[in-house]
């Protein structure tokens, strides 16, 4: 992952001069996705999602992105992206070709759009590099995805395995990262476990899978 003070190739925007974790904190000042309205929570549940919310800490977000080694040929997808911290950080601090966040909660999606607008206005993020979608994770577009991440702790087992079955057919997938481990699946192999600080605990296990 490029550091903020490392020059980028000609034609790309300069990285922000501040420390990456500080940039994220500044972008999200006053943005809190933990509480949503009852109406929005009911809409999420009607789509068989969970309104329960948690997220990576800023330094853990950067650690994850560094570990994933996203490059220009990668399309990174965050399923249940909440306020959009991970895809926005991927767009700012990595060489990823495209980062995409998909969120079922309309209110959290709007917060993510606000954070992205701040990042674009402050010239941290090229607008086209990060896409935010309000939609059902079960119908998320995976055909171009190379790396998929999900903060899946509140997902039911059938919901998560349904996502895994769809990802098993993704032709370009090289990595799937989930905070819930998968039931045995012929298409995926657990290759490592990361320990990352999240909003609900320190050093939570993130399971990294590769297609067989």
Q: How many CB atoms lie within 10 A of CB 205?
A: 13
Pairing type for strands 98-103 and 147-150 reads: unpaired
pLDDT-above-90 percentage for the chain:
75
**Residue 4 above 90 pLDDT?**
no
Q: How many CB atoms lie within 10 A of CB 212?
A: 9
Q: How many CB atoms lie within 10 A of CB 170?
A: 19
Nearest to 178 by CA among 167, 186, 169, 170: 167
* pLDDT tens figures, 133-174: 999 888 887 899 999 999 998 888 888 999 999 999 999 999
What pLDDT is recorded for position 3?
40
How do the residues of the chain divide into helix, strand and coil, expressed in percent and rounded to 5? 35, 20, 45
Spacing of C-alpha 34 from chain mean position: 16
pTM: 0.88
What pLDDT is recorded for position 18?
65
Tokens of 198: 């999240």
Where do the domains of the chain lie? 20-211
The CATH architecture to which 20-211 belongs is 3-Layer(aba) Sandwich (3.40)
What pLDDT is recorded for position 154?
87
């Amino acid at each position: 992952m490029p550091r903020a003070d490392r020059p980028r190739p000609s034609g790309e925007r300069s990285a922000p001069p501040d420390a990456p974790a500080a940039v994220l904190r500044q972008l999200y000042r006053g943005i809190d996705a933990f509480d949503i309205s009852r109406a929005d929570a009911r809409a999420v549940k009607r789509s068989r999602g969970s309104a329960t919310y948690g997220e990576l800490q800023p330094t853990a977000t950067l650690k994850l992105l560094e570990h994933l080694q996203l490059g220009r040929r990668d399309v990174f997808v965050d399923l249940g992206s909440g306020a959009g911290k991970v895809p926005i950080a991927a767009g700012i601090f990595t060489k990823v070709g495209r980062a995409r966040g998909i969120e079922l909660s309309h209110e959290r999606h709007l917060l993510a759009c606000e954070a992205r607008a701040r990042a674009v206005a402050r010239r941290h993020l090229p607008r086209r590099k990060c896409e935010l979608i309000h939609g059902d994770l079960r119908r998320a577009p995976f055909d171009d995805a190379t790396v998929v991440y999900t903060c899946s702790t509140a997902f039911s087992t059938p919901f998560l395995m349904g996502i895994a079955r769809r990802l098993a057919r993704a032709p370009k997938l090289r990595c799937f990262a989930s905070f819930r481990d998968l039931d045995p699946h012929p298409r995926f192999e657990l290759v490592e476990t990361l320990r990352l600080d999240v909003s609900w605990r320190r050093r939570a296990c993130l399971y990294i899978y590769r297609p067989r």
